[in-house]
Chain A
Amino acid sequence: MSDSHAVAVAEHGSHEHPAHLRHHFVSLEQQDETASFGMWLFLLTEIMFFGGLFTAYLIYRNWYYPAFVAASHTLSIKLGAINTLVLITSSFTMAMGVWCAETKKQKGLVWSLIATLILGFAFLGIKTVEYKEKFEKHHVPGSSFSIQSFVHPVAEDGKEADKALPADTASRTEVYFSLYFAMTGMHAVHMIIGIGLLVMMLVQAMRGAYSHGNIAFVENFGLYWHFVDLVWIFLFPLLYLISRH
């Protein structure tokens, strides 16, 4: 038995099984911290990536302010708020999943992951409804994009029509929708990747793979999922809310 192995056994007493301790780590603590350190470095590059999109959004919002205000009025605060609720709740269920894994509650972990998965799908479902409406109104940038709804606004659902925009201003709304689709689209891609990983993890959890203390994957996936929530916490007010009142 190697010295480091002996140290790890001594540190953890009888409740830990250091079978998953890699030989190049001194202890499980070091191994776990190394894993989450790497995960955080990855997440920081992700923050830089989304930061570029947010910066572009802030600059263009200042440049084309009236167009951005008008375009953001086409988003549904109700759907955005429901999605925020869904995502925050999924972060909570994932945090509970991590707790269940840490305390070796296999059933709790499986149910937490199922809840997180359902909420993830719910988010994407609501996002699909929102995207579909954008296609119907010709608000998707590209050849089918139309400024009609901004040049000749129509009152709908008992709401007053927005003020009509001159054509050159209205054409700038395409910039808003480009950024809207780039930002929410990249966010949705992260959700889809997360859902894929969740399904994988759920199968593993049902097999009892995380019942012996080897839960680095669950913890690091938790970090990833909370990060996706974090991005939405900024996307929701910036895209949906700040141009209302």
Chain B
Amino acid sequence: MSENHAEAHEGEHFHQSHIVSPMVYFVIFMALLAGTALTIGASYIDMGPWNPVVALAIAVTKATLVVLYFMHIKYSSKLMKLTVGAGVFTFLILVGMSLSDYISRAWGQW
């Protein structure tokens, strides 16, 4: 009876904590090492304005892996996912708006 009681009250509200297995951690660890090798390799190729773009794309991919798996967001509740998503969104607004202001206001005048 107490079990039913517990389920009825909490089953949907609170996320059951999920234990991520060492195998998952190891695979992500290897992926991060591969990403590091890739970004170092890419830095020696002259891609003109694309060098920073490629470097940032690899960094964002690595960061996403860390947040999702090492920091457990993939296994977290909707509340956590939404909070982190909202934070990243706000971050991009702040950085993006600042950069666009600098780019549009005095381009070539420094």
Structural contact, A245 and B39, CB atoms closer than 8 A? no
Interface residues of B in 25-41 (CB under 8 A from A): 25-26, 28-29, 32-33, 36, 39-40
Structural contact, A37 and B29, CB atoms closer than 8 A? no
Q: Is A244 an interface residue (CB 8 A)?
A: yes
Structural contact, B59 and A234, CB atoms closer than 8 A? yes
Dominant SS among interface residues on chain A = helix
Q: Which residues of B contact A10 (CB under 8 A)?
A: 2-3, 5-6
Known: A99-B19, A99-B25. A7 touches B10 (CB 8 A): yes
Q: Which residues of A contact B6 (CB under 8 A)?
A: 7, 10-11
Q: Which residues of A contact B14 (CB under 8 A)?
A: 26-27, 29-30, 33
Structural contact, B10 and A26, CB atoms closer than 8 A? yes
B88 smallest CB distance to A (angstroms):
8
Structural contact, B16 and A237, CB atoms closer than 8 A? no
Q: How far is the CA of A237 from the CA of B59 in the complex (A)?
A: 8
Known: A41-B83, A55-B95, A95-B70. A7 touches B9 (CB 8 A): yes
Structural contact, A54 and B95, CB atoms closer than 8 A? yes
**A63 closest partner in B (C-beta):** B110
Structural contact, A44 and B19, CB atoms closer than 8 A? no
**Interface size in chain A (residues, C-beta < 8 A):** 55
B82 smallest CB distance to A (angstroms):
11
**A234 closest partner in B (C-beta):** B59
Q: How far is the CA of A11 from the CA of B11 in the complex (A)?
A: 10
A219 smallest CB distance to B (angstroms):
8
Structural contact, B5 and A244, CB atoms closer than 8 A? no
Q: How far is the CA of A126 from the CA of B87 in the complex (A)?
A: 32
Q: Which residues of B contact A229 (CB under 8 A)?
A: 66, 70
Structural contact, B79 and A237, CB atoms closer than 8 A? no
Structural contact, A47 and B70, CB atoms closer than 8 A? no
**A45 closest partner in B (C-beta):** B87
Q: Is A114 an interface residue (CB 8 A)?
A: no
Q: Is A102 an interface residue (CB 8 A)?
A: yes
Interface code B44-79, partner A: CB below 8 Å = 1, 0 otherwise? 111100011001101100110011001100001101
Q: Is A129 an interface residue (CB 8 A)?
A: no
Known: A48-B91, A237-B55. A244 touches B110 (CB 8 A): no
Q: Which residues of B contact A54 (CB under 8 A)?
A: 95
Structural contact, A40 and B46, CB atoms closer than 8 A? no
Q: Is A151 an interface residue (CB 8 A)?
A: no
Q: Which residues of B contact A81 (CB under 8 A)?
A: 36, 40
A interface residues (Cβ-Cβ under 8 A, vs B) = 6-7, 10-11, 26-27, 29-30, 32-33, 36-37, 40-41, 44, 47-48, 51, 54-55, 58-59, 62-64, 77, 81, 84-85, 88-89, 91-92, 95-96, 99, 102-103, 222-223, 226-227, 229-230, 233-234, 236-238, 240-245
B interface residues (Cβ-Cβ under 8 A, vs A) = 2-3, 5-6, 9-10, 13-17, 19-22, 25-26, 28-29, 32-33, 36, 39-40, 42-47, 51-52, 55-56, 58-59, 62-63, 66-67, 70-71, 76-77, 79-80, 83-84, 87-88, 90-91, 94-95, 98-99, 102-103, 110
